[in-house]
Amino acid sequence: MGYDVAKERIPDEKRDTLNSKNDISSIYNNLSESRQSKVYDFARQQLEEQNKIKEFPLPKKIDTLAAHSADPEKVYTDDEVKNIHSYLDKLDDEYDSKHKK
């Protein structure tokens, strides 16, 4: 800094961040009172909404089950269908027992 610059001068690297954070203030200050009131009410509403948002817990593991046939033309016997249903019911029960609340 030169001799003609005050010690209180904000360094260039910090000045840019301060200006970007304060842009809303300079805009707000140039608004009429009624418009300032609208901006304030909107900002307050947004802040309240933001503060209400809670982090939702995510499950540790997401189980995915896809059932399909390699041959779509295959016709299953009644016993095969029964076995498939039985197997899927067993998986369903296991899932439910793991995820009881």
pLDDT tens across 35-93, in order? 999 999 999 999 999 888 777 777 676 655 566 777 878 888 899 889 988 998 998 89
Contact 35, 42 (CB under 8 A): no
Mean pLDDT, rounded, for 7-13: 67
Instruction: Tell me the CA distances in angstroms from 75 to 67, 72, 78, 79, 80, one per residue in order.
Output: 15, 8, 10, 12, 10
Q: Is the pTM of this model over 0.75?
A: no
C-alpha–C-alpha distance, residues 21 and 15, integer Å: 10
Task: Report which residue type is found at 46.
Answer: Q
